[in-house]
A and B are shown apart, each in its own frame.
Chain A
Amino acid sequence: MSELFSLTVLTGIAYSGIRLATPYLFAALGEMFAQRSGVVNLGVEGIMLMGAFTAFAMATWTGNLWFALFCAAFIGLLMGLAMSFISVNMQAEQGISGIGMHLFGLGLSSLLFTKFLGSTKAITGFQPIKIPLLGDIPVIGEIFFNHNILVYLAFLLVPIAVWVLNKTTLGLKIRAVGVKPEAADSLGVSVSKIRYLCVSFGGVMAGIAGASLTLALINLFQENMTSGIGFIAVALVYFGGWTPVGVTLGALLFSLVNALQLWIQVLDKDKVIPSDFALMMPYVLTIAVLAFGKRTNQPAALTKPFDRGSH
């Protein structure tokens, strides 16, 4: 167990932590936009599964990873649009419809997988790209600048999200619609459009998050392979206080715990720590965070459908 604290292992944990943060980041940042506009999409996990399957199938059939990624994003868009329609037009109970969306994605991805692919070989996913100069710095270079393209994109999304939310007219509309939709409406801002946009964007991001599993992290598809990442992403939005930076810190915390847990399983050959316990760690952390976290920043109109009344 003492190897756990060697430089190589610590570097390894940090490296995997950042790498594993990719699906959390895509999914949680997308979900954050949906929630800032006032819609909770609990179906992220289902969309991720469909994204993961679509990307894997397309990569297997065409060998084109970017095309596979695009298809996953497109499936995410369709499911995001469906979720928008259900919550904006049908004004459904968002918790329930989200669970429905999850079960739909879970069932359909498993069905399509057994029907069209069954057991298959791993694909060759996105390969690590070493950034010139920066990648050569000892330790730092190894941890930060030797990742696949999706990792860089996920982290690039963070400053973009900060900018869009806080510095643009669109961001202002999103922030208003999630807190007081009737105020935005009275100024001619279309609450429906903003919510459609945000929830659909969340869907696209969830699709890409799923694709990042099959195209960059695991390179395989298995039934229910997301095993809760989508739900944790929803929890991360709460954890991060509905801000991009908070969500990112949360995602990193979770992925680091995950990486630690993986390394413990590898290194702890005498099973001092039961492996089930290690596996539980991220989930226990989720519950702890939700139980003790503050909710002061929660958008006031979260989960509340908007209806101006009769026209």
Chain B
Amino acid sequence: MAHGSKLMALNSQRMSILLPTGQPRIESMRMINITKRFPGVLANDKVNFDVKAGEIHALLGENGAGKSTLMRQLGGLYRPDGGEIHLDGKPVQFKSPADSIQRGIGMIHQHFMLVPTLTVAENVALGLPSSRGLQLDLDKVSQKIEKLAQRYGLKIHPDAYVWQLSVGEQQRVEIMKALYRGAALLALDEPTAVLTPQEVDDLFKVLRGMAADGHALIFISHKLHEIIDISHRVTVMRDSKVVATHPTAGSTKTQLAREMVGREVILQYDKTPYKPGAAMLRIEDLVVMGDRGQKAVHDVSLIVREGEIFGIAGVSGNGQRELAEALTGLRPVQTGRVVVAGQELTHAKPAQRIAAGQSAIPEERMREGVVKEFSVSENLILQDHGHEPYSRNIFLNFDAIAKESKRLIDEFRVKTPSAETPIKNLSGGNIQKVIMAREINRKPRVLICAQPTRGVDIGASEYIHQRLLEQRSAGTATLLISEDLDELLALSDRIAVMFDGKIMSIIDRDKATVERLGLLMAGVKA
């Protein structure tokens, strides 16, 4: 019987059209009424989604909408609690990732699934049978990789170790892994989250080439302009349900944002005119060492003025994190000077910086921004519990703390069951609002703000952006470190690009474009 079904499979393969990789195409994939529950969470609620050969179908939705969960069921990592998956009209069941791969489905996960200590060829060959039985045939694997790389314009060295590769290159390895396994359908989960604009362009070229060859592609993102740029159709998910599916042509960003968030979203902010005042944060020839003893921040000098948002752009790992840590007293300064509101604070402890009027919104919000086990209200008074109104002498004033936390929770629209809820139970966006509330409530003169909306949904991002602009109007000098160019362009008055620890250039907002910033981020001096 097994023999018979194998024969049938062979026959149906022979009838279908082949891709240039030699694999049969997947003419259509349909997910019907997919339901998936996790303890206490309904992650997918009767979701319908489909994709055809030659099509790029975008899946749009906020963080937590259920996109990755839906894809993980297609990839055989999770099993649906309800609903069916059809390939070319026939129902299929994926019991494991191997099942799904074997059916021609390729998955590129939000977090890369690469083994850094192995070479590109080894990563590609992992889990595949070898033409030499027990023994690896990496030379043959490399040859085939190079052939595929040429066809799809994927620049890859089979012998390079993955830890040596840039993020963009690592992503090409992921695509290669799928192509090598004969993927006819490729699902990419937020593939652009970590790429520079040029890398995004390169990726899009590869994806268009694949679609033209007859691959079916699923592209997940929450970046509206990318979806408008690359996809033929778009499906929007909100709160674990599909809220809309329609052709991309004719859709506008505003419309997509409305579908995604469920209400009108402001994409363009009203900024008060740029009226910079006195220099509030002065950084002179700053040198800071990285974790591996290299110069992570290399002779950086800049001035941030009152009423100004000074943006720092750059691909992660170019010294932004070390710069922020040095400015908040978490990392020692090697040489150079930092002056805040006229006070030299180069080697000051975090508490001295707070006293001098500096607030900080750290990049690692769970590690450096909050104490996970503490309640929302405890986190709201974290650095300020030592003085009025929160305490007198050595006693905490619980009434004052309760009143003040309630006020801040309301004012910053923190969604939490109560002020006593442990903060770790809140979503990323709400945790960030708690940190913002605490730091802004101090009426800072200087605000160091790193990746404020990373992993935060559009609704909360919009709110955080408005508050940052309010601070700007109130005269705060803000240093905004971000990898999100849209965010930098929407908020900043001037933008510096960091590359390899150095500042490549400082550009006024009205002269900054995505293309120009992108080149600088890649280390190309314009």
Q: Footprint of B on A, CB under 8 Å?
A: 167-173, 175-176, 179-180, 182-189, 300, 308-311
User: Cβ of B115 and Cβ of A180 under 8 Å apart?
Assistant: yes
Interchain Cβ contacts within 8 Å, total number: 82
User: Cβ of A180 and Cβ of B114 under 8 Å apart?
Assistant: yes
Answer whether residue B134 sits at the interface, using C-beta atoms and an 8 A cutoff.
yes
For chain B, residues 87 to 134, give those with C-beta under 8 angstroms from any C-beta of chain A: 96-99, 101-102, 107, 109, 112-118, 122-123, 125-130, 134
**With A and B bound together, what is the CA distance between A172 and B129 in angstroms?**
11
Interface size on B, residues (CB 8 A): 33
**With A and B bound together, what is the CA distance between A308 and B98 in angstroms?**
14
Answer whether residue B38 sits at the interface, using C-beta atoms and an 8 A cutoff.
yes
| Chain B nearest Cβ from A37, distance in angstroms | 13
Q: Chain B contacts of A170 at CB under 8 A? A: 134
Interchain CB contact (< 8 A) of A179 among B38, B78, B79, B116: B116
For chain B, residues 107 to 165, give those with C-beta under 8 angstroms from any C-beta of chain A: 107, 109, 112-118, 122-123, 125-130, 134-136
Answer whether residue B419 sits at the interface, using C-beta atoms and an 8 A cutoff.
no
| Chain B nearest Cβ from A184, distance in angstroms | 6
Q: Chain A contacts of B135 at CB under 8 A? A: 167-169
| Chain B nearest Cβ from A268, distance in angstroms | 46
Q: Chain B contacts of A176 at CB under 8 A? A: 115, 118, 122, 126
User: Cβ of A186 and Cβ of B136 under 8 Å apart?
Assistant: no
Answer whether residue B25 sits at the interface, using C-beta atoms and an 8 A cutoff.
no
User: Cβ of A184 and Cβ of B77 under 8 Å apart?
Assistant: no
User: Cβ of A187 and Cβ of B127 under 8 Å apart?
Assistant: yes
Answer whether residue B75 sits at the interface, using C-beta atoms and an 8 A cutoff.
yes
What are 27 A-B pairs at a CB distance below 8 A?
A169-B125, A169-B130, A169-B136, A170-B134, A172-B125, A173-B127, A176-B122, A176-B126, A179-B116, A179-B118, A180-B113, A180-B116, A183-B112, A183-B123, A184-B115, A185-B97, A186-B107, A187-B101, A187-B126, A187-B128, A188-B96, A188-B97, A188-B98, A188-B127, A310-B39, A310-B78, A311-B78
**With A and B bound together, what is the CA distance between A171 and B127 in angstroms?**
11
Q: Chain B contacts of A179 at CB under 8 A? A: 115-118
Answer whether residue B177 sits at the interface, using C-beta atoms and an 8 A cutoff.
yes
| Chain A nearest Cβ from B70, distance in angstroms | 14
Given A169-B136, A188-B96, the answer on whether A183 and B117 have CB atoms closer than 8 Å is no
User: Cβ of A183 and Cβ of B115 under 8 Å apart?
Assistant: yes
Q: Chain A contacts of B77 at CB under 8 A? A: 185-186, 308-309
Q: Chain B contacts of A309 at CB under 8 A? A: 77-78
Given A175-B115, A186-B113, A311-B78, the answer on whether A169 and B97 have CB atoms closer than 8 Å is no
**With A and B bound together, what is the CA distance between A172 and B120 in angstroms?**
12
Given A175-B118, A183-B114, the answer on whether A167 and B126 have CB atoms closer than 8 Å is no
Q: Chain A contacts of B125 at CB under 8 A? A: 169, 172
Q: Chain A contacts of B79 at CB under 8 A? A: 311
Interchain CB contact (< 8 A) of A186 among B97, B102, B116, B122: B97
Q: Chain B contacts of A188 at CB under 8 A? A: 96-99, 101-102, 127
Beyond contacts A169-B136, A185-B97: 15 other A-B pairs, Cβ-Cβ < 8 A, are A169-B129, A169-B130, A170-B134, A172-B122, A172-B136, A173-B127, A175-B118, A176-B118, A176-B122, A179-B118, A183-B112, A184-B127, A186-B75, A186-B113, A187-B126
**With A and B bound together, what is the CA distance between A170 and B177 in angstroms?**
18
**With A and B bound together, what is the CA distance between A185 and B126 in angstroms?**
10
Chain B residue with minimal CB distance to A163? B135
Q: Chain B contacts of A184 at CB under 8 A? A: 115, 126-127
Q: Chain A contacts of B122 at CB under 8 A? A: 172, 175-176
B153-191 vs A, CB cutoff 8 Å, 1 = contact: the mask equals 000000000000000000000000100000000000000
Q: Chain A contacts of B102 at CB under 8 A? A: 188
| Chain B nearest Cβ from A2, distance in angstroms | 48
Interchain CB contact (< 8 A) of B136 among A168, A180, A183, A311: A168
**With A and B bound together, what is the CA distance between A197 and B47 in angstroms?**
40
**With A and B bound together, what is the CA distance between A311 and B37 in angstroms?**
10
Which are the 6 A-B pairs with shortest beta-carbon distances?
A188-B98, A187-B127, A183-B113, A186-B113, A189-B127, A180-B115
**With A and B bound together, what is the CA distance between A300 and B118 in angstroms?**
12
B38-66 vs A, CB cutoff 8 Å, 1 = contact: the mask equals 11000000000000000000000000000
Q: Chain A contacts of B99 at CB under 8 A? A: 188
**With A and B bound together, what is the CA distance between A309 and B78 in angstroms?**
8
| Chain B nearest Cβ from A201, distance in angstroms | 15
User: Cβ of A169 and Cβ of B115 under 8 Å apart?
Assistant: no
Chain B residue with minimal CB distance to A176? B115
**With A and B bound together, what is the CA distance between A309 and B75 in angstroms?**
14
**With A and B bound together, what is the CA distance between A176 and B127 in angstroms?**
10
**With A and B bound together, what is the CA distance between A182 and B122 in angstroms?**
16
Q: Chain B contacts of A182 at CB under 8 A? A: 113
Q: Chain B contacts of A187 at CB under 8 A? A: 97-98, 101, 113, 126-128, 177
**With A and B bound together, what is the CA distance between A180 and B117 in angstroms?**
9
Of listed B77, B99, B130, residue having the most chain A CB within 10 A = B77
**With A and B bound together, what is the CA distance between A254 and B115 in angstroms?**
33
User: Cβ of B97 and Cβ of A183 under 8 Å apart?
Assistant: no
Of listed B75, B79, B97, B122, residue having the most chain A CB within 10 A = B97
Of listed A183, A186, A300, residue having the most chain B CB within 10 A = A186
User: Cβ of A169 and Cβ of B134 under 8 Å apart?
Assistant: yes
User: Cβ of B113 and Cβ of A189 under 8 Å apart?
Assistant: no
**With A and B bound together, what is the CA distance between A151 and B413 in angstroms?**
72
| Chain B nearest Cβ from A36, distance in angstroms | 11
**With A and B bound together, what is the CA distance between A239 and B77 in angstroms?**
37
Chain A residue with minimal CB distance to B112? A183
